[in-house]
């Protein structure tokens, strides 16, 4: 079970339409496939989606740090030496997606070696999650039409709405149109990606007070310490800390400061090992948890549902698992399918998925 090699393979798959939000927009999934090889001939896989406007990582940077720094640190370790691995990777600051992908590929390799599903290794609570679909910036009619299509074709009834534009009425009008167009039987919440000030956020939430929102997420920057505390203190819905609360220390700081009352776990930035720590802390603090999405492809999305389905707390709410539907293609041999608003884990050892070699050859960027 010793690691013999770590590969970082760049690939690029276009989106059908750009996903736009307050901190940036994405036109092409320029991701990195990470493969961990062992001396038993096992290969574990994971996906690293760089988000330079949030975490500072790029596709080229992920490849460089894995090839030059991380791979030499983990080659020779056993798949069971995850704490040693985490300690070695932690010597290098930042690079969350690169670290997370290595961690998840190791878990996949371990599951394949033991002939056990990763979800069983993690907790095995259930085999599925409800799906939340993320709606990026567009005109109200277009966003309502997209939500209606997702409900009709995939049974999705929970929607995360990107907000953060100025004037705030641009976004409050969209949320109102979604509620009026889709009715009261759907769940809606908003994510500002730090686009508004605290006062703008308060005004927007007051304007949407009658729309039955589930959550508000990262409406204003966490660096606006007093403003965010003031905002959270007056909200009557849980306030999700996302990019401001990545590590257990971040979560503790934000919650104790009164700057958040719920958190988003994204395995694309904390892997399985560190996401476990965040989950256990949230459980102990009694926080609501949403499984988030880093605009992942299908491999990243199956990793999210594998982790989220492993625990009662993370499977309680709909997870952000559907943005791969906006991609023109993907790398898996058997594409993921959302039925009746749910995504299930795959049978089989590890993550239960395989990479299509022909698709990888077509989309990889290093040949």
Low-confidence ranges of the chain (pLDDT < 70): none
What pLDDT does residue 290 have? 98
In the chain, which residue ranges form alpha helices assigned H by DSSP?
Answer: 59-65, 71-74, 82-90, 96-114, 118-122, 140-154, 169-182, 198-207, 225-234, 248-256, 267-270, 273-285, 298-308, 312-316, 357-363
CATH of 3-115+357-363, one of 3.40.1190.10, 1.10.10.10, 3.30.390.10, 3.40.50.300: 3.30.390.10
What pLDDT shows up at residue 24? 74
List, by residue range, all CATH 3.30.390.10 domains of the chain: 3-115+357-363
Which residues fall within 8 angstroms of residue 47, CB to CB, at 6 or more apart?
31, 32, 33, 34, 101, 268, 296, 297, 299, 300, 303
Q: What is the pTM of this model?
A: 0.96
What pLDDT does 26 receive? 85
Q: Which residue has the tokens 């966003």?
A: 143
- Per-residue pLDDT of 290-324, as tens digits, reads 999 988 999 999 999 999 999 999 999 999 999 99
Amino acid 18: pLDDT? 81
167 prior amide bond cis, ω within 30:
yes
Alpha-carbon span 308 to 275, nearest angstrom: 10
In this predicted structure, what is the pLDDT of residue 147? 97
- pLDDT tens for residues 204-220? 999 999 999 999 999 99
Q: Give dist(CA 365, CA 192) in Å, integer.
A: 33
Q: Domain 120-344 classified CATH 3.20.20.120?
A: yes
Q: How far is CA 247 from CA 5, 6, 124, 236, 266, in A?
A: 28, 25, 23, 26, 11
- Could you write out the DSSP letters of every residue in 119-188? HHHHT---SEEEEEEEE-S--HHHHHHHHHHHHHHH---EEEEE---SSTHHHHHHHHHHHHHH-TTSEE
In the block, tokens 């670290």 appear at 99
Paired tokens of 75: 């080659």
pLDDT tens digits, residue range 156-176? 999 999 999 999 999 999 999
Active site residues: 162, 191, 217, 242, 266, 294
Per-residue pLDDT tens for 81-96? 999 999 999 999 999 9
- Which residues of the chain form CATH 3.20.20.120? 120-344
């Amino acid at each position: 079970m010793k690691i013999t090699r770590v590969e970082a393979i760049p690939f690029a798959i276009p989106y059908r339409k750009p996903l736009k939000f307050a901190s940036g927009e994405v036109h092409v999934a320029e991701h990195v496939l990470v493969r961990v090889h062992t001396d038993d001939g096992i290969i574990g896989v994971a996906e690293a989606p760089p988000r330079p406007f949030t975490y500072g990582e790029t596709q080229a940077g992920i490849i460089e740090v894995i090839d030059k720094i991380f791979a030499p640190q983990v080659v020779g370790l056993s798949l069971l030496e995850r704490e040693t691995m985490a300690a070695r990777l932690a010597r290098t600051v930042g690079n969350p997606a690169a670290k997370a992908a290595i961690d998840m590929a190791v878990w996949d390799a371990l599951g394949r070696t033991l002939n056990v599903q990763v979800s069983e290794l993690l907790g095995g609570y259930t085999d599925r999650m409800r799906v939340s679909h993320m709606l990026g910036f567009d005109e109200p009619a277009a966003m309502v039409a997209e939500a209606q299509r997702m409900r009709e074709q995939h049974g999705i009834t929970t929607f995360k709405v990107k907000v953060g534009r100025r004037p705030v009425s641009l976004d409050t009008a969209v949320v109102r149109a979604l509620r009026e167009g889709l009715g009261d039987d759907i769940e809606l919440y908003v994510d500002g990606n730090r686009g508004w000030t605290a006062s703008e956020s308060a005004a927007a939430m007051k304007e949407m007070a009658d729309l039955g929102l589930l959550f508000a997420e990262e409406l204003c920057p966490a660096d606006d310490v007093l403003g965010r505390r003031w905002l959270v203190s007056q909200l009557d819905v849980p306030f999700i800390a996302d990019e401001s609360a990545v590590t257990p220390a971040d979560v503790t700081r934000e919650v104790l400061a009164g700057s958040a009352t719920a958190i988003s776990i994204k395995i694309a930035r904390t892997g399985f090992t560190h996401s476990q720590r965040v989950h256990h802390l949230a459980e102990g603090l009694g926080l609501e948890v949403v499984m988030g999405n880093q605009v992942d492809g299908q491999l990243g999305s199956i990793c999210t549902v594998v982790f989220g389905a492993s625990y009662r707390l993370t499977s309680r709410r709909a997870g952000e698992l559907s943005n791969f539907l906006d991609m023109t293609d993907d790398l898996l041999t058997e594409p993921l399918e959302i039925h009746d608003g749910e995504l299930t884990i795959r049978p089989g050892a590890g993550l239960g998925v395989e990479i299509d070699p022909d698709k990888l050859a077509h989309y990889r960027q290093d040949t």
